[in-house]
Structure 1
Amino acid sequence: MVNKKSTFSQDLRISSVRRGSMVTLVVNGKKILAYEGESVHAALTAAGIRNFRTSKTGEPRGVFCGMGICYECLVTINNIPDQRACMTQVKDKMKIITEVPFFQKLKLEKTNMNGNK
């Protein structure tokens, strides 16, 4: 399948590349479109989202290495914190939060440890 006409408002993908089926992600409460098989990082970047979190001193953070080593691209996926966006493939209806405040993150971790998702 060749993407001849983009349905993204600001699609940064190369249009002549074969892609999987379109899926819908919910990122910070907003729906974006992505392609099956691409990474969360690729989908967010194509949608214009480049800052995934902030450092302790407030600097924006996003993908640095793109191969799972630096952990700069951590996001929360389906209520599971600290997932590497560059190493995780998108799935339809995936819920992604790019910045989770510290105390909310602790609550998510506790919930997941108790088996509640």
Structure 2
Amino acid sequence: MSPRRVRAECDSVGRQDRPLRFTVDGEPVDGIQGQTIAGALLAAGRLAWRQGRTGAPRGVFCGIGVCFDCLVTVGEERDVRACRRRARDGDVVTTQSRRPEPRGPGLAHPILQAEEES
């Protein structure tokens, strides 16, 4: 699917979109200049790119930078809201997880352990 919503031949405004490409977890994503990271991911058909504490998939929820559901890491910068950050050609984006890490060797986090037992 093209990241362009309006076909060039049907565009009465005559936009001159400049394509860009960035990677998400090593996979290329095409977009257009001015598009947010979340917008490019949605246009590429990707609805989720993060896991919540329970492991549930998360993506865009509010779309205006209020909720933190769309957090990604861009380069070395963690907790970037994908709905607010404009994609840049060559960006290296990695997904994040809010799933708690186990506490020590062989010890599961209490929330995850309770989920697994039920």
TM-score, scaled to structure 1: 0.71
Deviation at 1:33, TM superposition (A): 1.2
The structure with the largest strand share of the pair is 2
Q: Which residue of 2 aligns with 1:63?
A: 60
Q: Which residue of 1 aligns with 2:27?
A: 30
1:75 and 2:66 are equivalent in the alignment: no
Q: Identity percentage over the alignment?
A: 34
Q: Distance in 2 between matches of 1:89 and 1:56?
A: 26
Gaps (5+ residues) in structure 1?
Answer: 1-9, 104-117
Give CA deviations for 1:69-96 in whole Å, capped at 9, x if unaligned: 0111000111211000000001110011
**Is the Cα–Cα contact under 8 Å of residues 3 and 40 in structure 2 kept in the other structure?**
no
Deviation at 1:32, TM superposition (A): 1.7
Q: Distance in 1 between matches of 2:100 and 2:76?
A: 14
- Max radius of gyration: which structure? 2
1:11 and 2:2 are equivalent in the alignment: yes
TM-score, scaled to structure 2: 0.70
Deviation at 1:20, TM superposition (A): 2.8
Residue 15 of structure 1 aligns with an amino acid whose one-letter code is V
Q: CA RMSD in A?
A: 2.0
1:52 and 2:49 are equivalent in the alignment: yes
